[in-house]
Amino acid sequence: MTIKPLFNVSVNYPTEENELEYDIRASKAVAKVLMEILSPGGVAELIETYNTKILNVKGENYMNQEQMDRIHTGKGFIAALDQSGGSTPTALLQYGILKDSYSNDEEMFNLVHEMRTRIITSPAFNSEHILGAILFENTMDRKIGEQFTADFLWEKKNVVPFLKIDKGLAGLENGVQLMKPIPNLKDLLKRALEKNIFGTKMRSVIKEANSEGIKKIVEQQFDIGKQIAEAGLVPIIEPEVDIHIGDKEKSEELLKSEILNQLSVLDKDVKVMLKLSIPTKDNFYKDLFDNPHVVRVVALSGGYTQSEANEKLAHNQGLIASFSRALSQGLIAQQTDKEFNLMLSDSILAIYEASIK
């Protein structure tokens, strides 16, 4: 008697070259079997186990390749929508919302989420010009419509979601401000993965050309960056050079040297991004673009007006924007939707043009 197989599944054995494709094929085959034999509750439990255990073990092997390709080679810029608790009142004030409009943090964050939702849902905010968007943790945990913000960004806008993870700056020491400790980092990265975040961003600041301080600031950034990469996310390394300091160019020279040192000792599969102040010398960071560990180098506006930042950025071929204040410049709550969308569209187009020159 011949027994007919219940399932018709064919899977080739993996090689080093096709391991990821094999994993995907095998996963689909296993999923097909499990959907036939498990109850809906059993499937849900299995998915939860995968999210909390397997994803953290495999890390970057399961990273969204479409998102990686878009960030690595796409035309456009990254929108920074990551004002945190300390900078939120200033962001709201620039948006035309006075401090007496809210009485506690919850009301404040509701208002700033309304502002970010208005930006993200605007027709002007689209994947033709915008590659990714950096979110504050509170924004990641909130929804736009029926979807969490990161899912809305990717599924509705085709914009890659990032998460700001730092908790602010420590005091000035050796001419720099390191990041404050990030409590529960592992749990935060796990939540980011569960919310379909692609990468992270963390900021520290250089206030003078102090070699010891700059070495420490880069070491801290990369030490945490390696933990982020191990969790399966792409870290944006952001050691900002204050644009107002007198020895900015010397600081940039020291900074680039330390970044190259750290890149040279990374494990071969680790990928990072760099977010840097627009350099004093045009194209100064160009030699970082082709480093095999570097997915993309982006620029912060750093206090320049939008027009100043765009002009300086346009002189740095291959460097793309990741602007916050310069992006939201001119947007106010009291504008009609038509006025708001037109202002945002003008800003996005101007930043885009500066990013692709």
**Which residues form the catalytic set?**
238, 275
Q: Which two tokens stand for residue 313?
A: 């950025």
Cα 323 to the center of its chain, rounded Å: 12
Can you give the three-state secondary structure of 280-327, one letter per residue?
Answer: CCCCCCHHHCCCCCEEEEEEECCCCCHHHHHHHHHCCCCCEECCCHHH
Are the beta carbons of 309 and 323 closer than 8 angstroms? yes
Contacts of residue 10, defined as CB under 8 A and 6 or more positions apart, other chains included, come to: none
Q: Which two tokens stand for residue 189?
A: 């990265």
SS3 98: coil
Q: Cβ-count burial of 4 within 10 angstroms (0-12 exposed, 13-18 middle, 19+ buried)?
A: exposed
How far is Cα 137 from Cα 183, in angstroms, rounded to an integer?
13
Question: Strand pairing partners for 81?
Answer: 135
Q: Which two tokens stand for residue 292?
A: 């095999």
Contacts of residue 284, defined as CB under 8 A and 6 or more positions apart, other chains included, come to: 252, 256, 316
Place of tokens 């030699």: 287
What letter represents residue 346's amino acid? Answer: D
Nearest to 346 by CA among 357, 336, 331: 331
The DSSP secondary structure of 161-217, one letter per residue, reads EEEE----B---BTTEEPBPP-TTHHHHHHHHHHTT--EEEEEEEE-S--HHHHHHH
Q: Which two tokens stand for residue 2?
A: 């011949």
